Structure 1
């Protein structure tokens, strides 16, 4: 049984579906990259898994149990956390305060919050220097690190990251992708939405998406096949 199972998912805005009965699995302990061009339906997929959108049909299952119509906050408590597209940090709060808000679901466990706080600083040492700085004054790369760190503060089993590399230099994008491997090794499964094929070397599984459908699934060495990139994303 996979950690995450998506079955027959149809999601739309108004009468027009964006996702057309998609099916895929994400295994526990892997980094899965959902890859496709703009408008393919990638963000709609992770927003539905996080509970921000309701499907017209189909279901999402975690550990074999349907999430049904559970709210986003209930899904956080069940172990699903979303790092949204565009970072969306709280600009007038400090780095430390942003991280504390990410731990709201665990606020009654101060020790667990401290441990997760230390873990985030271990993943992103640059945030240690910035912990008392207002988030709105950080660079784009630092804000992305903070957004990922804030999502980790709830100690999720499944971390959803939407377009981590958007607007970042290649070097900073690579830094974020490298950290996802460490996050996986620390026991958190990662589903990462990307347009940038540079994320593929960091993936254990790749889902190629186009126009609301999952066209292809690649695992392990299949991901390294350059023809896969050319076929679905262009050379």
Structure 2
């Protein structure tokens, strides 16, 4: 890969608009011309969520609102809990979801919400976060950390606004370990890399996405009983 190109093929691997410049990676999108050495990414903002989100060290506190979205909130004994609508936003990042009453799906979605918040914050500030390992592991964890390191090396960071809306969440309880598949509609048309220093400071370092797009995430239950994002499937050729 030429040093003045950024590979956008791994955006959906990390999700929430993440862009990685890694030589040899397959790309489903046209690389953007940085006019600088290759390598950089997009990410998300953060504080843990639990119906109402609270901030973690080094991350802005988010605010959340939850409301019952199903009629008849006082359901009969033994009935499934009604879904709750969650809307959270902080410093350019916003998240929306309808969380079902199933406790496993709800726990996985909470971890996912925190994951999207943390990676947004990491990308905007171009800094590492100890919180990421609480909500992601495997390749997703290592690529995000690599991305932030590349941001610093290239003196770029993410800027703008991003919206992540969960459109579907399904539990595969037969999987070992159990997995919740979460589909989102991510709008980062106004969230992209910019130069952080030099004569081009504040100018775009990549071509922004033109439309919102779906991402499919796998959130699995770890041996420690915690849910973490460990896979993302790009849907960059689709819109939502």
- Fold shared by both chains (TM-score > 0.5): no
More strand by share: 2
TM-score, normalisation: structure 2: 0.29
